[in-house]
Amino acid sequence: MGRHARAQRSQRLEAEVDQYIAELTGQRDEAGRRLVVRNGRHRPRTVSTAAGPIEVAAPRVNDKRVDEGTGERQRFSSRILAPWCRKSPKISEVLPLLYLHGLSSGDFVPAMEQFLGSAAGLSPATVTRLTKQWTADHAAFQARDLVESDYVYVWADGIHPKVRLSEAHSCLLVLMGVRVDGAKELIAIAEGLRESTESWADLLRDCRRRGMHDPMLVVGDGAMGLWRALAEVFPQARHQRCWVHKTRNVMNALPKSAQPGAKKALQEIYNAEDRAHAEKAVTVFEKTYGAKWPKAVAKITADVAELLAFYDFPAEHWVHLRTTNPIESTFSTVRLRTKVTRGAGSPTAALAMVFKLVESAQARWRAVTAPHLVALVRSGARFRNGHLVEQDETLAA
């Protein structure tokens, strides 16, 4: 490792300590002496990186403050270089992600040499070795225990990314859920054949075998394979059809001249303030378009119960439950990345690559609105038109 790289690492450590001390300058004892000051350096140690070893002598901090709750001395802990760290994880994490985001393995040497000041350990073979870990990570993810992961809401969708899969008509079956604490989480991602009942049933059975409980509501598109499989594997789960997919299907059955008005009429249905107004809007839609385009109208009237199921859940959650957008929005980014890296090698490697992209995106997913209401839904509390039904009203009903 060159002097320039060592100097950069040392400067970052120094800047981190300086900022920590500066923020605590006002902390003083009874005699007016500062409680947080510099105290020389730790003994030098060698930290291994993918670009070679580097010797580091981290600055020390003398922090005399005492935690009032525990009675123990406060301690400075570097976020750049942990006390136990002997090997930097940064390079091994960054290289695969750069490959996933479109940088060819042959481009790593010139690109990373400018950043690190050295080309050591940055051959394409190094990248290939690192990416083999993706397959192992995906296999471990698909085999993990789900007993403690209580998913109240689940989105399900079949995705067709631009990667090589084992069959010409294969797709990726994706399950994403909302835990009791309101956080969104990827449940499973596996290859399936044309979103068939058998493929969905295999994936759902595997999730149940690993301890997954019946969700309260599953949101999906019109693929019949999913709903048949759900009825078999998770019979207690209610069904909610995705309004984005449904609107798209209705528009495809109408002439272009009728589409703007029909789209607005559909919005009147799923944006209605309660179920009664939504059902009234369905009737209006049927009267307006049923005579000329009965097939388009039937796509709504045949699935009214599944399209309006979200009204029996908290109003704060409606925006999340009407569509499979959480999956769609995530995979729109995945599709952009896989256009560059579609030659990912084997189908297994391609699937693992998509998994790592989704895993990376998961860190940015936001919890559902009003997450505290998710636990109420799981407990069996009743909601009518988005509002909690009081216990005495429930008994009267």
How confident is residue 100, by pLDDT bands cut at 50, 70 and 90? low
Res 320 pLDDT > 70: yes
Write down the pLDDT at residue 266.
Answer: 97
Question: What is the 3 state secondary structure string of 242-303?
Answer: CHHHHHHHHHHCCCHHHHHHHHHHHHHHHCCCCHHHHHHHHHHHHHHHCCCCHHHHHHHHCC
Res 279 pLDDT > 90: yes
The lowest-confidence range among 2-6, 79-83, 224-228, 288-292 is 2-6
Can you tell me the distance from the alpha carbon of 49 to that of 197, in angstroms, rounded to the nearest whole number? 48
Q: Please state whether the predicted TM-score (pTM) of the whole model is above 0.75.
A: no
373-376: which pairs have CB atoms within 8 A and are 24 or more residues apart? 373/314, 373/316, 373/317, 374/152, 374/153, 374/178, 374/179, 374/180, 374/181, 374/182, 374/317, 375/180, 375/181, 376/314
pLDDT tens-digit series, residues 114-173 = 554 444 445 556 556 666 778 888 899 999 999 999 999 999 998 876 655 555 567 889
Burial of 352 (0-12, 13-18, 19+ CB in 10 A): buried
Average pLDDT estimate for 386-390: 90
Domain boundaries, the chain: 3-88, 91-141, 243-322+367-397
Write down the pLDDT at residue 395.
Answer: 42
